[in-house]
């Protein structure tokens, strides 16, 4: 079984071969082109050039269904499941078995059960609604669906990102079970230890190019990281501004918790940039949401400038000098149909109406210093590029002159230039004595920008690392998989 591509800008001439019964690891930094490659194989995107061959015969996919029919199934991080339907109904959606004219519900559930048992899963009732399932169980349903499609290649995107340890062991069993039947697995993961343990062959992507493919036995974690990163990171992140001083404690949490995070002790000082790392679902966003009053703390204490305060809503948080750049700028960061000016003044107008005229005067200069490229202040935010949108989000908060800035994935999905501009803003804020708390999934970013790194796992702080910690040490804290010498 062979597949090869020559791809587009995101993907430059990457190719890979998968053999029956093999687990192929696909690794690379965020933006290296892994997702693009997966989506091409899943039939979501079409390649600009290049071919996909199955058993030597070239195929083209115009629709995800065609990829499935050709035997390639994909388990995305965002599951394609209907929460209100049962396990069996989800597995057989679009192919419901019938007896005469009617759907054979009991037969369908029986088949789903034997399918799950074939994967080594018992105790999962096919009549249960998917919404009642844990993330691990939903993933099992996705895999079962792939198996029921007679998939010969199953792609898995970060399958262990949201799983607990015993669930990871279960996934390994399932993967072993599948490869024994001759199914090939393309396994995309940031967890290098896992990839080395699970995969026979590993392909490394960097900046859209395939830099290496070799047997896992010839690799170890540090050689992998070197191939993945392959460039000095230090030059990319601007240095700390001269004169930046770590001052008094701006924000402190003592034993803080709510439904999603627990037992968080944290101090954030003026002039500091503190990074929060952790796997997806580890409670990073939830921690920021708790501090900002979106899901207020129900336990413990929150102190601002040494004074214990209650933050029961974002409005109160803003009044206490906080700002939150959310991870989804289109949904919660901006009013897309409003102008750049209205967006930049959105928070000031509603929370500090008296300061609006002054903020209005500041906006042009602020946007200029952020290097927002737009036709006019009246342009609607939806027509800006992702990077410019993110700068407008920053402007929206900087007009409030915050003392504590919370950033959730501040550079997600934006180009390198805009990333750099946002890093500069963070350094500038720190120099002005603002305390910055940043959540990011990109380890180089966390490591390159933070004065200290807090690592979260399962809704709690798993530990703290100094500036310049290695990716391995962050990952081992995040996964809870033994310490790595660093």
Q: How far is CA 129 from CA 86, 110, 134, in A?
A: 4, 16, 11
Residues 294-323 that bind another protein (CB under 8 A): 298
Residues 96-135 that bind another protein (CB under 8 A): 96, 98, 101-103, 105, 120-124, 132, 134
CB closer to another protein out of 27 and 294: 294
Kindly state whether residue 173 participates in binding another protein, applying the rule CB under 8 A. yes
Q: Quick one: tokens of 85?
A: 């339907």
Kindly state whether residue 62 participates in binding another protein, applying the rule CB under 8 A. no
Number of residues that bind another protein (CB under 8 A): 40
CA atoms of 105 and 121, how far apart (whole Å): 20
Residues 445-484 that bind another protein (CB under 8 A): 458-459
**Residue-wise DSSP of 254-313:** EEEE-SS--SEEEEEETT-EEEEEE-TTSSHHHHHHHHTTSS---EEEEEETTEEE---S
Q: Are 376 and 392 in contact (CB under 8 A)?
A: no
CB closer to another protein out of 286 and 471: 286
Q: Can you tell me which of 207, 209, 221, 262 binds another protein, judged by CB under 8 A?
A: 262
CA atoms of 42 and 153, how far apart (whole Å): 10
CB closer to another protein out of 314 and 433: 314
Kindly state whether residue 344 participates in binding another protein, applying the rule CB under 8 A. no
For residue 105, the minimal CB distance to another protein (Å) is: 7
Burial class (CB within 10 angstroms; exposed 0-12, middle 13-18, buried 19+) of 348:
buried
Q: Which of 155, 15, 69, 209 is nearest to 59 (CA)?
A: 69
Q: Can you tell me which of 17, 137, 207, 342 binds another protein, judged by CB under 8 A?
A: 137
Stretch that binds another protein, among 86-94, 196-204, 219-227, 419-427 (CB under 8 A): 86-94
CA atoms of 180 and 285, how far apart (whole Å): 39
Residue with the two structure tokens 């047997």: 215
CB closer to another protein out of 123 and 365: 123
For residue 459, the SS3 value is coil
Stretch that binds another protein, among 26-34, 89-97, 233-241, 390-398 (CB under 8 A): 89-97
Contact residues for another protein (CB under 8 A)? Answer: 64-65, 68, 80-85, 89, 93-96, 98, 101-103, 105, 120-124, 132, 134, 136-137, 170, 173, 257-262, 283, 298, 458-459
């Amino acid at each position: 079984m062979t597949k090869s591509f020559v791809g587009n800008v995101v993907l430059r001439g990457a190719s890979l071969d998968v053999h029956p019964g093999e687990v192929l690891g696909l690794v690379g930094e965020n933006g290296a082109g892994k997702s693009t490659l997966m989506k091409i194989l899943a039939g979501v995107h079409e390649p600009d050039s290049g071919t996909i061959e199955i058993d030597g015969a070239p195929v083209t996919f115009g629709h995800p269904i065609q990829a499935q029919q050709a035997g390639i199934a994909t388990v995305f991080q965002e599951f394609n499941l209907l929460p209100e339907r049962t396990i069996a109904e989800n597995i057989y959606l679009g192919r419901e078995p019938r007896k005469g004219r009617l759907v054979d519900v009991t037969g369908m559930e029986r088949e789903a059960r034997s399918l799950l048992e074939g994967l080594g899963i018992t105790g999962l009732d096919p009549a249960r609604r998917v919404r009642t399932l844990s993330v691990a169980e939903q993933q099992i349903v996705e895999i079962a669906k792939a198996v029921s499609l007679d998939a010969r290649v199953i792609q898995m995107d970060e399958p262990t990102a949201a799983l607990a340890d015993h669930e990871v062991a279960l996934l390994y069993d399932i993967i072993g079970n599948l490869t024994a039947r001759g199914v090939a697995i393309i396994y995309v993961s940031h967890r290098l230890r896992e990839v080395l343990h699970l995969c026979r062959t590993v392909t490394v992507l960097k900046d859209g190019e395939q830099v290496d493919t070799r047997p896992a036995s010839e690799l170890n974690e540090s050689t992998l990281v070197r191939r993945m990163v392959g460039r000095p990171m230090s030059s990319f992140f601007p240095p700390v501004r001269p004169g930046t001083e770590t001052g008094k404690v701006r924000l402190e949490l003592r034993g803080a918790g709510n439904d999603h995070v627990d037992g968080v002790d944290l101090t954030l000082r003026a002039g500091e940039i503190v990074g929060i790392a952790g796997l997806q679902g580890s409670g990073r966003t939830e921690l920021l949401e708790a501090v900002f009053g979106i899901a207020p703390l129900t336990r413990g204490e929150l102190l601002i400038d040494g004074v214990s305060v209650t933050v029961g809503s974002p409005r109160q948080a803003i009044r206490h000098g906080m700002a939150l750049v959310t991870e989804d700028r289109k949904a919660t960061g901006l009013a897309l149909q409003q102008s750049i000016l209205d967006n930049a003044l959105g928070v000031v107008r509603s929370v500090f109406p008296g300061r609006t005229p002054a903020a209005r005067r500041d906006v042009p200069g602020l946007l200029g210093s952020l290097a927002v490229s737009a036709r006019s202040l009246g342009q609607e935010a939806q027509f800006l590029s992702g990077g410019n949108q993110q700068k407008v989000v920053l402007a929206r908060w900087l007009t409030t002159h915050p003392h504590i800035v919370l950033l959730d994935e501040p550079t997600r999905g934006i180009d390198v230039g805009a990333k750099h501009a946002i890093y500069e803003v963070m350094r500038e804020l720190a120099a002005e004595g603002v305390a910055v708390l940043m959540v990011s999934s990109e380890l180089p970013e966390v490591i390159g920008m933070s004065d200290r790194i807090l690592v979260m796992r399962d809704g709690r702080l798993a530990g703290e690392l100094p500036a310049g910690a290695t990716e391995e040490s962050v990952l081992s804290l995040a996964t809870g998989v033994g310490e790595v010498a660093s």
